Structure 1
Amino acid sequence: MQAHGELKVRRDVVKRVSSSPHTVTEADNLDALKDFVARGFHADVIYIDPPYNTGKDFVYRDNFRQRREVRSEHFGQWHAEWLSMMLPRIILAREVLADTGFIFVSIGESEAAHLRLIMNEVFGEDCFAGQLIWKKGGTGKNDSKYAVIEHEYVLCYAKSASNPGFNLDPHAQTSTRYNHSDEKGNYSLVRLDSKTLGYLPSLDFSITGPDGREYWPHQPEGKSQVARWRWGKDKVSEHYEELVFRRGFVYTKNYEKKGARPRSILDGERFGVTRTGRKDAEEALGIQGTFDFPKPVRLIKHLIAIAGGADAVVLDFFAGSGTTAQAVAELNREDGGSRSVHLVQIAQPTEASSPARRAGFDSVADICLARVQALDGLDFSHIRLTPIEE
């Protein structure tokens, strides 16, 4: 699947910092993504917080004749226009994403189901890595006759289904009891046979125990060809000394690790809430009321940490107030990492009577640039892409 249109823009470097990998690109993100593809740029982690299609003015109005359109009879005109904006950007984002990379997309209730459909189409259902639920705080508007919405989602996809998965979350709790130990540390026992992974004849074979007994995957009563081993013959042979034979079953040792796989519910102080994000932006800029709903720095730090290494290349092409840059700067400061961040923000005009305009910010891009400029130890190059009129 390919995105539409050729790149027809002028690329101006407003400010170049050759000693720093970080960039802020002032442009329509469709143009910026095409530029990234043309230059062979790749990101390890992509995070975006696109507009939620809540009825406010729509900034990203692509040329209707050129864009890849989502048909309105399938989704309704209201959703189709938003999805037609998102689809080519998601297609290009996949091209930009490194083979081992992850993309995270924050989204509200109104478009979550529709967005997941097009993400499945572009990335493939087998690359779906989770739908995280972030509790955004507050009590929610009490004007609904149904449930009050107090959460948003973060859709997660891997570039490849062979991706080894997320990094461990050192703060995540696990219910596993590590009640055995050896010279390597504490461990729990996990049965080598499984009834839920899908039967494969090549993984249904006998293993000879130290006592000479033949062990087979334990089939459910009255059934066959259901259970199979989690390991193949070669791995069983290679790691035979690590197996535990007990009470007619074969076990592997699951050693205790620092942390656990990330959880899908993002609730609590460590992930922040809406007011946390607003406070982050206000403190960074020294001005109140410049941005409506910025995500908390803590939330973005968590997503980057579970998806990328200490040298990850991070991209946010709906940069808004620049929260992702602050998240990268703080992570690098905390763990000594060398992550780079690349932001894209269109020069969307601020409201004439808004606190942002009164503070001298004519556009959202101005806010983003000011916030990144204020970050300690994060010099950046400023790039501007201008469409070339035919």
Structure 2
Amino acid sequence: MPFLDWVNKKQAKEATREVPYHLLKQELVHGDVSGANADNLLIQGDNLLALKALIPFYAGRVKCIFIDPPYNTQSAFEHYDDKLEHSQWLSMMYPRLVLLRELLTEDGSIWVTVDDAESHYLKVLMDEVFGRRNFVSSAVWQKTTSARNDAQYFSSDHDHILVYARSLDLFKINRLSRTASADAAYKNQDNDPRGPWREIDYKCAKSADERPNLFYAIKHPTTGEEVWPRRTRVWAYGKEEHERHLREGLLFWGKTGNYSLPKLKKFLSDARDGLVPRTLWLAEEVDQTRTAKKEMKELFPDDPFATPKPEKLIRRVLELSTEPGDLVLDSYLGSGTTAAVAHKMGRRYIGIEMGEHASTHCLPRMQKVIEGEQGGISISMNWNGGGGFRFCTLAEPAFDEHGRISAEVKFATLAAYVWHFETGKPGNQIFDKPLLGIDNGTAYYLLYNGILGDRRPAGGNVMTHAVLQAINEIFPHKGPKVVYGEMSRLGASRLAAEGITFKQIPYDVKMR
């Protein structure tokens, strides 16, 4: 597979490993954050740092990622610096995509909006990060219905939405809800008692050489003559299936029997499972930029966001990729549209935004959503308010430049880091005891912040004979053990006899 190369690519690839882990500092709780609402987060801060902070807790848990990164169009926006040099833009995107991939569930997907300036480069870049075989499609969104007369060459009507699966073998896309216009395509030309139907082509794009079993003669019901398909476009169904179609009266030769080739009846009653999504997303279906700006003007009359996406566009993405209760992430939250739509649709969400508009736009917008604002998709979703979210900022790094652990790091936080590093799994369970869990037959323990109480020295942070005895009595495990602590006073032979691999804090606490 070909790879994209650019200046400083090596540094961009190393950046993922070198990004320091930061703690998240809760600044505000708004509404009800009990139950599933506890995962609803708005984070203000650099999205690269925020994504790294989320990895130990949310790796493999996010069902859908939607991002609308700066397009690198060499134009200036009020809320973003969108004039990055091309290689800088690629270096900015690469480590973020790597971290986003790690956050996705195995059956999850990522949807990225981009225009022609970088779309082809982004496609190759995402092929490298997500795997070319996991490319799902590129949807085209009609972002405007009117021409720009000041355009130098072409007036751009569309943006692209690149869609990748974490694993295409596991990814399933939802059908769209049926519409009145789609149902109107079904007629009942012959008064069939089974109801309205539409004609389906009876041929397929295969040749007789490729599929000789699909090249055969059928009898015309009006003329009695043999009807053959072209050798370059044979029947879509084998003889047995064709015989079933005859028995069930599923073939249509025209009202007067004058069709030279048959059509297959597809009944509306069999099509209630929804519509197959298409790659052309018209403004009449998912709205356009002008609608999005109007939505923002209604929310923030004095300071509308310059480059929003319409709520119906995000609803389409979430309809296709998620179910109620799934976790959605947007690391370029902008004006907060993804979080607002996810909230109204009953999805959990994490939104990350670096700029001041995290406070001036995203935060008040989500407060209005909880209060029941009726803009965007609210009416169609019967939205009346409710729920809640947490507003967080990035605190100091969890580890300083010498590897020392910040005093602000609590046991549960370090436990999540250790558990994720050792197992690759998110630390989303409750960590309140030395035994973090058992994975593939190995038990993982953490001695930190006096988790064993009064057992000395250092409140149980040092592996001593007494601490070992306490572990074996309270949290026994017959298989291999990995124990993290400040120090071990047990000899190598005793550790080996107990099946213990000891790792010292902070030196062996490596971060993914």
Tell me the TM-score normalized by structure 1: 0.70
Partner amino acid for 2:63?
Answer: D
Residue 313 of structure 1: CA displacement? Answer: 2.0
Separation in 2, partners of 1:50, 1:198: 48
Cα deviations across residues 131-175 of structure 1 (Å, max 9, x unaligned)? 222223553251x44212233222222333233434224338559
Gap change, CA 1:283 and 1:88, over 3 Å in 2: same
The answer to whether structure 1 residue 384 and structure 2 residue 400 are counterparts is no
Select which of 134, 142, 147 maps to 1:139: 147
Mapped to 2, the partners of 1:321 and 1:31 lie a distance apart of 20
Query: Match for 2:100 among 93, 107, 110?
Result: 93
1:246 to 1:152, Cα distance in 2 relative to 1, 3 A: closer
Give the stretch that moved more between structures: 80-89 or 18-27: 18-27
Distance 1:386 1:197 in 2: 64
**Cα distance change on mapping 1:18 and 1:384 into 2, 3 Å:** farther
Structure 2 alignment gaps of length 5 or more = 4-12, 217-227, 254-260, 371-385, 402-512
Q: 1:198 to 1:30 in 2, by over 3 A?
A: farther
Q: Distance in 1 between matches of 2:45 and 2:124?
A: 27
1:45 — aligned with what?
A: 64
| Cross-structure match for 1:299 | 313
Q: Higher Cα Rg: structure 1 or 2? A: 2
Point out where structure 1 has 5 or more consecutive residues left out of the alignment. 62-76, 207-217, 333-337, 349-361
DSSP 3-state at the match of 2:91: helix
Aligned residue for 1:35, secondary structure, equals helix
Aligned residue in 2 for 1:268: 283
**Is 1:23 matched up with 2:38?**
no
Q: Is the 8 A contact 1:169 1:306 kept in 2?
A: no
Q: Within the alignment, does 1:105 sit opposite 2:121 as a pair?
A: no
Question: 1:282 and 2:297 equivalent?
Answer: yes
Q: CA deviation at 1:372?
A: 1.2
- Out of 17, 21, 25, the residue aligned to residue 5 of structure 1 is 17
Q: Is the 8 A contact 1:314 1:339 kept in 2?
A: yes
Q: Mark the CA change 1:264 to 1:229 in structure 2 (over 3 Å): closer, same or farther.
A: closer
- Pair 1:130-2:138 in alignment: yes
The CA deviation at 1:375 is 1.3
- 1:171 alignment partner in structure 2: 179
Aligned ranges 1:248-267 → 2 under 5 Å? 254-256=266-268, 257-258=271-272, 259-267=274-282
Give the C-alpha shift of residue 344 in structure 1.
0.9
Q: Within 1, Cα distance between the matches of 2:322 and 2:194? A: 27
What are the Cα deviations for residues 176-233 of structure 1, in whole angstroms up to 9, with x where unaligned? 6564887875445657874359998899799xxxxxxxxxxx8853x7xx969779x9
Residue 118 (structure 1) shift: 1.4
Which stretch of structure 1 is more off in the superposition, 120-129 or 84-93?
120-129
In structure 1, distance between residues paired with 2:317 and 2:209 = 34
Q: How far apart are the structure 1 equivalents of 2:208 and 2:95?
A: 36
Aligned residue runs from structure 1 range 181-200, under 5 A: 186-188=196-198, 190=200, 194-196=204-206
Q: Which moved more, 1:10-19 or 1:178-187?
A: 178-187
Given candidates 347, 358, 362, the residue that maps to 1:368 is 362
RMSD: 4.4
More displaced 10-residue stretch of structure 1: 291-300 or 164-173: 164-173
Give the Cα separation in 2 of the matches to 1:130 and 1:111: 14
Larger deviation: 182-191 or 292-301?
Answer: 182-191
- Does the Cα contact within 8 Å between 1:129 and 1:158 map onto a contact in 2? no
% identical aligned pairs? 25
CA drift of 1:250 comes to: 10
When normalised by structure 2's length, the TM-score is: 0.55
Task: Tell me the secondary structure at the aligned position of residue 32 of structure 1.
Answer: helix
After TM superposition, the structure 1 stretch with the greater mean CA deviation from structure 2, 34-43 or 373-382, is: 34-43
Matched, 1:114 2:110: no
Q: 1:253 to 1:145 in 2, by over 3 A?
A: same
- Secondary structure of 1:47's partner? strand
Tell me the CA shift for residue 241 of structure 1: 8.6
- Cα 1:35–1:167 shift into 2, 3 Å: farther
Aligned residue number for residue 353 of structure 2: 345
Aligned residues: 344
Write out per-residue CA displacement over residues 354-390 of structure 1, whole angstroms, 9 at most, x where no aligned residue.
xxxxxxxx54444211211221224101222235252
